[in-house]
Amino acid sequence: MAVSIPADARLLALEDVATQLRVDSVRATTAAGSGHPTSCASAADLVAAIFFDVMRFDLQAPRDPACDRFVLSKGHAAPLLYAAWAAVGALDRKDLVQLRQIDSDLEGHPTPRLPFVDVATGSLGQGLGVGVGLAVGARMLGTDARVFVVLGDGEMAEGSVWEAAQMASHEKVENLVAIVDVNALGQSGPTMLGHDLKTYQRRLAAFGWRVNVIDGHDMKQVTAALRRATRGRGAPTAIVARTVKGKGLGDEVEGKEGWHGKPLPPDMAERVIASLESRLHRLPPPPIRRPRRRVGKTLLPAPQPIAGKPPTGEIATRQAYGEALVRLGESDARVRALDGDVKNSTFAEKFKERFPERFVEGWIAEQNMVSVAAGLGAQGLIPFVTSFACFLERAADQIRMAGISRANVKLCGSHAGISIGEDGPSQMALEDLSMFRAVPEAVVFYPSDGVATDAAVQLAAARKGIVYIRTTRGKTAGLYREDEVFAVGTLKTLRRSERDRLAIVAAGITLHEALAAYDEMAKQGTAVRVIDLFCVKPLDATALLEAARACDNRILTVEDHYPEGGLGDAVMEAVGTANVAVHRLAVREIPRSGPPKQLLERFGIGRGAILTKVREILGG
């Protein structure tokens, strides 16, 4: 319980905290020779009040579900965040001058290398979506934790902010507070609205938020607004704070253009610090607030063995995914599903039907949906995000930032490639493997039947981090027995002999085309090997090279994807420097609408195209 102190003294103590935050931000950025002290200065009063007047946290367990969460969406103000955590004792103040150094975790923009940072920020416009996920996750876990998100006014031009705003109000996320630091200056000039606070107010209110407009440097107004905001009342709350960029850093800097991202020169920094310190009342900071109790991992039952069996017959892998997710959800209460209004096509609706309280509709707002998933993951849940693979590409930056965050997010992209047929090229994901393979530490599965899809879902849940599962629209034959064992890095050899002259490597729909081509070649006496590249990343290079050596050092890759960055490139990277000839079939031009089988042949990845290519490689 916080110690009661007189209101006036408390406000003065909070002002002292804000002043010290400015001092520490200036000192750290000047020592680093880079950074954003003016962006820190405008939000210092807001952050001081959040940390010392309303936010409840436990320094020994900052990610306990009972703790309030703080997201600095304007990540370039990272020195302010580090100064705040130093003020509450989570960091040693003397270490703040290690900002931006290669051996320091105090990076230029926050990352979860630090235990009190839930997600990486700095790519503007994403913090509010993460905040929605954190807040929804807290509600799902049954805690009374609140989420505070500080945004810059410049990022209010990002569409993803408004995707998050509309979802928050629709979901009635009353435990979410957004604080907009309206300092009117962006990087290269004034922001879109400058200090037009009424327009911000009207827009946020139109999106269903409770809105308070305040002077962001009047501590009495700041604390009053924050306390009102934490009362909830069925809607999220936004505090629109009029601030001055560079507040407290002197007339040369305050409210002036040209200082964004520039540290104060050493002599100027000394003068500014001396001036700031002269204003201190020398009062001790208010005691921090703590949650009533830690809840640890006791909120959800422990995972149980998965019941039931995977489908072994003909089935679309997108349908197998939906069924596998239900089985997983029955065994693990941490699993959550999100879908972008295509759940009847991705089969995520099966999870919603079974667990409506654990399903989140992301609507047609894929960027926000991924950010929300990152927030859910930061609450210790296991979110599975589903949409058409081509629409997940819209969230490329959110996925990139989730990778930097090492977020525990699983994504399934259905309807991949030209095999979707008549819907045409706007619906055909032909770049998705390239995008997900580029995410550091991400795992990419490309299952080819129901058993493999079921395994991919289970493996995804068991592995911490970003995992992508690529599924196919049309039904395909079963390939594996229900007891087939898969693992991260697995490839499977489906056809082989001692006489094989070429290894065909494929996955998904093209694996079935390769098997059909194999049957034709077998009738003609042509011996080839067929390999299922179930896991595209990481790839079992040793097994692949052994297969190539057994097949006269010849490989043919076949993929329903553009050639850049997909399955073929993955194979090339694995064996291309080992004296192995890698031949490739891929979609090499913009496709068009048409029946799937005709499209596969017309664009060079169907069974006929495979037969022709094999004859070309083997000379007849």
Residue 467: the pLDDT is: 99
**411 domain residue, yes or no:** yes
Q: Which of 256, 278, 300 is a domain's end point? A: 278
Place of tokens 């902010």: 161
pLDDT digits (tens, 9 = 90+) for 54-66: 999 999 999 999 9
Supply the pTM of this predicted model: 0.96
Mean pLDDT on 587-602: 98
SS3 state at 56: strand
How far apart are the C-alpha atoms of 312 and 224, rounded to whole Å?
A: 61
Same domain, 106 and 195: yes
- pLDDT-derived band at 7 (thresholds 50, 70, 90) equals confident
- Structure tokens of 365? 């707002």
Number of structural domains found in the chain = 3
For the cut 50, the answer to whether the pLDDT of residue 280 exceeds it is yes
Same domain, 319 and 393: yes
Same domain, 374 and 441: yes
Instruction: Give the CATH number for residue 372.
Output: 3.40.50.970
Residue 105: the pLDDT is: 98
**Closest among 519, 506, 384, 488 to 448, alpha carbons compared:** 506
Residue 535 falls in which region: left (phi positive, over 0), alpha (psi -120 to 50) or beta: beta
Q: For the chain, how are helix, strand and coil distributed in percent, rounded to 5?
A: 40, 15, 45
pLDDT digits (tens, 9 = 90+) for 431-460: 999 999 999 999 999 999 999 999 999 999
Mean pLDDT on 193-213: 98
Contact assessment for residue 132 and residue 115, using Cβ atoms and an 8 Å cutoff: no
Contact assessment for residue 565 and residue 437, using Cβ atoms and an 8 Å cutoff: yes
SS3 state at 535: strand
**343 domain residue, yes or no:** yes
Q: Note the maximum CA span of the chain.
A: 93
Same domain, 33 and 156: yes
Q: Which of 417, 451, 476 is a domain's end point? A: 476
For the cut 60, the answer to whether the pLDDT of residue 1 exceeds it is no
The b-or-e profile of 114-140 (16+ CB within 10 A means b, else e) is bebbbbbbbbbbbbbbbbbbbbbbbbb
Residue 299: the pLDDT is: 74
Place of tokens 């799937």: 596
Q: What is the chain's mean pLDDT, rounded? A: 97
The domain containing residue 179 runs over which residues? 7-278
Q: Which of 422, 448, 476 is a domain's end point? A: 476
Same domain, 322 and 467: yes
Residue 533: the pLDDT is: 99
Instruction: Give the CATH number for residue 602.
Output: 3.40.50.920
Return the H-helix or E-strand segment holding 10. helix 7-32
**355 domain residue, yes or no:** yes
- Structure tokens of 335? 């699993």
For the cut 90, the answer to whether the pLDDT of residue 298 exceeds it is no
Contact assessment for residue 317 and residue 449, using Cβ atoms and an 8 Å cutoff: yes
**604 domain residue, yes or no:** yes
- Structure tokens of 593? 């609408």
Same domain, 232 and 372: no
Residue 2: the pLDDT is: 47
**Closest among 381, 415, 373 to 141, alpha carbons compared:** 381
Mean pLDDT on 189-196: 98
**443 domain residue, yes or no:** yes
**68 domain residue, yes or no:** yes
**549 domain residue, yes or no:** yes
**289 domain residue, yes or no:** no
Q: Any alpha helices (H) in 121-234, and if so which ranges?
A: 127-141, 159-170, 197-206, 219-229
For the cut 70, the answer to whether the pLDDT of residue 297 exceeds it is no
Mean pLDDT on 102-131: 98
The 3-class SS string of 69-92 reads EEEECCHHHHHHHHHHHHHCCCCC
Same domain, 107 and 236: yes
How far apart are the C-alpha atoms of 365 and 342, rounded to whole Å?
A: 12
Residue 4: the pLDDT is: 60
Residue 233: the pLDDT is: 84
Same domain, 201 and 349: no
For the cut 60, the answer to whether the pLDDT of residue 3 exceeds it is no
**Closest among 165, 274, 128, 150 to 216, alpha carbons compared:** 150
Catalytic residues: 366
Same domain, 498 and 446: no
For the cut 60, the answer to whether the pLDDT of residue 335 exceeds it is yes
Decide the pairing of beta strands 492-495 and 410-414. Answer: unpaired
Helix axis angle for 127-141 and 159-170, nearest 10°, is 20
- Structure tokens of 362? 């992301």
β-pair partners for 384: 337, 410
Decide the pairing of beta strands 147-152 and 535-537. Answer: unpaired
pLDDT digits (tens, 9 = 90+) for 21-37: 999 999 999 999 999 99
Flag the least confident range among 299-308, 503-512, 542-551, 559-568. 299-308
Which are the contacts of 103, defined by CB distance < 8 A and separation ≥ 6? none
Same domain, 160 and 28: yes
For the cut 60, the answer to whether the pLDDT of residue 285 exceeds it is yes
Same domain, 512 and 464: no
Same domain, 403 and 431: yes
For the cut 70, the answer to whether the pLDDT of residue 301 exceeds it is yes
